[in-house]
Amino acid sequence: MENKRPVIGITCSTKDIGGLETAYLHYSYTTSVMKAGGVPVILPMADKEIAREWAALCDGILLSGGEDMDPQQIGAEPHPNLGKVIPERDQTEMDLIEYAKEQEIPIFAICRGIQVLNGALGGSLYQDVYDEREKVIKHFQDGARDAATHSISIEEGSLLAEIIGSNETSVNSFHHGAVQEVAPGMKVTAKAPDGIIEAIESEDFNKNWILAVQWHPEDMTEVSEEMNRLFTYFVKAAEERAGKKETVSSS
């Protein structure tokens, strides 16, 4: 029997379009997943029970970018430069993270996603690196979304280094928040020249396949094979997890 392609659940935001509240997601997330061999399914906001049922149907969870995380979700007070927040989205994604980790479903987190993931797992966040850190470089570029505008250094021996094929690369950048203290069970695997954390990953990939990046690789997969490999590795992990699930269900 031909193996089914893995189902990748992608979280989304909301946007008012013509007076209607609409589920909203940049199309590049879905095209990048499809290019890597996955079947994308968009996951809007929902209560915990529905979120758990969604996760159970998925072989991988992709936490997409978007607005700031509500700091109250992780016991912090709002910074004056905090942008738009959607607490209901935060809660849905935190529920998905909890269930995915419990069920060993691979997680790939992008931009906002790295921050929500780190907060959900017990880490802390900068709400505005320009005010809370000194001598930071530009992290919200004015250039095209597929243009790399700053370099990152990558930890040798990390999964990210294996995927990229180097200990350094250049990335695009669209954020003002960032990971501060990394969550338990996760480790820092990339930083910008100013020390801002650009990637974290699981300390134990045998149990939990979790990779999170601060930039937007989905907007670079058409121009960068390195960024495309982030999705192919993730989809491959989801495919392997789907195979294990099928083996258990048929035994």
Tokens of 128: 């505005």
In degrees, rounded to 5, the angle at the alpha carbon of residue 160 between the alpha carbons of residues 199 and 28 is 75
Contact 131, 125 (CB under 8 A): no
Give residue 125's identity as a one-letter amino acid code: L
Tokens at residue 131, please?
Answer: 């005010």
Q: What distance in Å separates the CA atoms of residue 108 and residue 62, rounded to the nearest whole number?
A: 5
Contact assessment for residue 82 and residue 10, using Cβ atoms and an 8 Å cutoff: no
Q: Which of 93, 201, 218, 226 is catalytic?
A: 218
For residue 212, the one-letter residue type is: A
111 is catalytic: yes
Q: Which of 26, 93, 111, 175 is catalytic?
A: 111
Q: Cα angle at 159 between 155 and 165, to 5 degrees?
A: 75
58 annotated active-site: no
With both helix axes pointing from N to C terminus, report the angle between 27-35 and 225-250 in degrees, rounded to the nearest 10: 70
Task: Report, in this order, helix, strand and coil percent for the chain, each rounded to 5.
Answer: 35, 25, 40
Which pair of tokens denotes residue 59? Answer: 């072989």
Ranges of beta strands (E only) in the chain are 7-11, 13-17, 20-24, 39-43, 60-63, 107-110, 125-126, 150-154, 168-171, 178-179, 186-191, 197-202, 210-213
Instruction: Show which residues are catalytic.
Output: 111, 216, 218
